[in-house]
Amino acid sequence: MKYPVTLLCALLLVLVGCKDKYIARYKMYEAVYMDPETFRSSVAFEIARPVKLRGNIYIKDNYLFVVETNAGVHFIDNSNPSNPVKTGFLKIPGCSNIAIRGSVMYVSSLMDLVCIDLSNMAHPVEFRRLENVFPTQEAVCLKNYPKIAVESSKGLVVDWKIKEIEEETDQIQYSGGGNGNGGIMVFEGDVMLAASNGNPGSGSSGISGSITKFALAGDYLYAYDMGRLIPVDVSNPQFPVPAAEIWMQGNVETLFPHGDHLFMGTTTGMLIYGLSNPAVPHYISSVSHMRACDPVVVEDNYAYVTVRSSGFCGGNINQLQVIDISNIQSPELKKTFEMRGPYGLGIDQGTLFICDGEAGLKIYDASQPEDCGNQLIEKYRHIRAIDVIPHNQLAIVIGENGIYQYDYSNRKNITLLSEISIEQ
Amino acid sequence: MKTVILALSLVLSAALSAQEAETPGKCYNRSTLGLLCGNQSSVTFNVINGYRFSPNFGAGVGIGTEFYLGDQHFSCFGDVFYQLNKSSSKPFAALNFGISEPRQQNSFNKGGVFAGASIGISHFTGKHFGLTTSVGYRISMLDFRSSWWDDYITRGYFKQLELRFGFSIL
């Protein structure tokens, strides 16, 4: 009798000792609230400060503007790209997108469109605010973290604090959905890094990278927000007038104006809209792909699309796609080239820049567009590149840890001119 | 990682074979097939090549394979054992510790480390060859990254009873 009892106890001990345990370590967003009155009276130009969080980059004349997502815009005098000088910080709570036409900067600040007079760069001032133009009511999330439930009674969500969590869980969290914590909201999807406007555009508009939900084309500013394309008439930059919003098919992530067309990267493909009636863009054609994130840029008769699969982007492809748009009614996917996990991209006179995430910045010769993916000129692995503006032989690249400027006037000897660190 | 493990194993095997020719009986090989039992159960296969520093004590390096949550893993580990040399049946105790990597490198299964302890007996039918059986306990600490959320790691502590059968060559 003694031995069976001993054996039974040993077996129980073993069984108890063989119970697996799972510890989840992750980060969550906790809302930072502000009451609407304070929110709308907080715009102020302050002394220059370190860039703390990556956001969109935008250039206009000799200035480089770096959006610090949800906080404001850094003004950087880039007259000498080898020695950029931070001149100030424009504090705008809930800031995510910018575009500049003439001496007016348009800034999305949660649901408002804020107009900033830049005629004196040393003293930019808010001169107009179009309230409730955008449906967005929450600050942008740069990362796909779960959110602690928002209590709207506490005010507007103007930013997010990151909270580190370590907890025992009963299963491994592989994919989407809740994570077992009762107070958590699931991810809402529309949190792509939003940038400033698209290509060089007309007149005195600025230039931005490819990851953008703001685009200036002709006399209109186009903004995408929560399923809607919102044209804003800026023919008189001092008095922007929103036109009727247009419901879009698919989840649009980036806008790129080119000629009389607006190219849009969506989670399911590239859309082309016509701007013959700029107040009412109309659908022309599209190219579909598996679900993924995909910025688009255009040069001549080709559109270049990077398709990325990870997290909320879904899918399982990471590619550069080259699309022939010589027949705008019937664009044709010509070539695909495998990438690691590409974000933004840019093209300037046959030089193609791909921000391939962890694989770094890649520069290709795109003089033969359908073979561009095989024509690697240079690769910078140390930059976790997110977006790029190539213009006038100067490539401005924003990565997770800094802003880098490269001179590519000699493609055989591309040189780093300067670096501004991002203090996360 | 897989390549490294295989290369390491080949190099070690070659070295041990050469050494064995010069100093017979000093090197050992223990190859076992078995079961890992727990919330996650799996078949397991190990090959250990080592060196006996004394009649009782030895240490070696091993490679193995097992499954966790449906993914095949390869392990590379260090092994130390203490053996009693009383007769043709030699009881032993062994400790091992090492790394475990998924066969298919993907962004979800990141692998991890493990450690184990076992006791067993080798029954030698000849001077060099013996049949081995052992029972042990193994804990593996493996990381899994969420494919949806950013920076979301779940660390699994897999605790398993380890039953092995195989042969030993001295």
Q: How confident is the model at residue A197 (pLDDT cuts 50, 70, 90)?
A: very low
Of B149, B157, B158, the CB nearest to A144: B149
Which chain A residue shows the shortest CA-CA distance from B153? A25
**Between B90 and A91, residue with greater pLDDT:** A91
Q: Compute the average pLDDT of residues A136-148.
A: 85
Per DSSP, the three-state class of A11 is helix
CA–CA distance, A176 with A187 (Å, rounded to integer): 8
Q: Which residues of chain B neighbour A176 with C-beta distances below 8 Å? A: 148
CA–CA distance, A207 with A354 (Å, rounded to integer): 17
Show me where the domains of chain A are located: 37-136+191-421
C-alpha distances out from residue A323 to A205, A285, A370, Å: 27, 12, 9
Per DSSP, the three-state class of A373 is helix
The pLDDT score that the predictor gives to residue B162 is: 94
Among A150-159, A161-170, A288-297, B65-74, the range scoring the smallest mean pLDDT is: A288-297
Among A267-271, A416-420, B17-21, the range scoring the smallest mean pLDDT is: B17-21
Q: Which residues of chain A neighbour B160 with C-beta distances below 8 Å? A: 18
Number of domains in chain B: 1
Q: Which residues of chain A neighbour B150 with C-beta distances below 8 Å? A: 27, 143-145, 311
The domain of B33 spans 2-169
Burial class (CB in 10 A: 0-12, 13-18, 19+), B109: buried
The pLDDT score that the predictor gives to residue A400 is: 87
The pLDDT score that the predictor gives to residue A10 is: 64
Residues 6+ apart with CB under 8 A from B52: B25, B26, B27, B28, B58, B170
Taking CB atoms and an 8 Å limit, are A172 and B39 in contact across chains?
no
B149 contact A CB<8A: yes
Token pair 């770096």 is found at A66
Q: How confident is the model at residue A128 (pLDDT cuts 50, 70, 90)?
A: very high
CA–CA distance, B37 with B47 (Å, rounded to integer): 19
CA–CA distance, A210 with A207 (Å, rounded to integer): 10
The pLDDT score that the predictor gives to residue B67 is: 93
Q: Which residues of chain B neighbour A143 with C-beta distances below 8 Å? A: 150-151
CA–CA distance, A330 with A348 (Å, rounded to integer): 24
The helix or strand, by DSSP H or E, that contains position B89, with its residue range, turns out to be strand B89-102
The domain made up of A37-136+191-421 has a fold known as Methylamine Dehydrogenase; Chain H (2.130.10)
C-alpha distances out from residue A205 to A100, A202, A211, Å: 6, 6, 17
- The pLDDT tens digits along chain B (170 residues) read 555 455 455 444 544 444 444 444 689 899 999 999 998 899 999 999 999 998 889 999 999 999 988 889 999 999 999 988 767 888 999 999 999 999 876 667 889 999 999 999 999 888 889 999 999 999 999 999 887 888 899 999 999 999 999 998 88
Residues 6+ apart with CB under 8 A from A347: A297, A298, A299, A304, A353, A366, A390
ipTM of predicted complex: 0.81
Which chain A residue shows the shortest CA-CA distance from B36? A18
The pLDDT score that the predictor gives to residue A311 is: 59
What's B107's domain CATH number?
2.40.160.20
Q: Are A241 and A274 in contact (CB under 8 A)?
A: no
Q: How confident is the model at residue A125 (pLDDT cuts 50, 70, 90)?
A: very high
Assigned token pair, A18: 């063989």
pLDDT tens across A391-405, in order?
A: 999 999 999 889 999
Which chain A residue shows the shortest CA-CA distance from B156? A22
- Going across the sheet that includes A332-338, the strands are A296-299, A302-307, A319-324, A332-338
Whats the size of chain B, residue-wise? 170
Q: Which residues of chain B neighbour A173 with C-beta distances below 8 Å? A: 144, 146, 148-149, 152, 154
User: What is the helix, strand, coil percentage profile of chain B, to 5?
Assistant: 10, 65, 20
Q: Which residues of chain A neighbour B159 with C-beta distances below 8 Å? A: 17-21
Taking CB atoms and an 8 Å limit, are B150 and A27 in contact across chains?
yes
pLDDT tens across A404-417, in order?
A: 999 999 998 999 99
Q: Chain B window 111-140: which residues touch A at a Cβ cutoff of 8 Å?
A: 137
Chain A to chain B, count of Cβ pairs less than 8 Å apart?
A: 88
The pLDDT score that the predictor gives to residue A310 is: 66
Q: Distance, in angstroms, between A374 CA and closest chain B CA? A: 25
Q: What percent of chain A is modeled with pLDDT above 90?
A: 65
Assigned token pair, A385: 């590149």
Per DSSP, the three-state class of B109 is strand
Of A20, A26, A179, the CB nearest to B38: A20
Q: In a mutagenesis test of the B interface, which of A12, A16, A20 is the best target, namely the one with the most B β-carbons within 10 Å?
A: A20
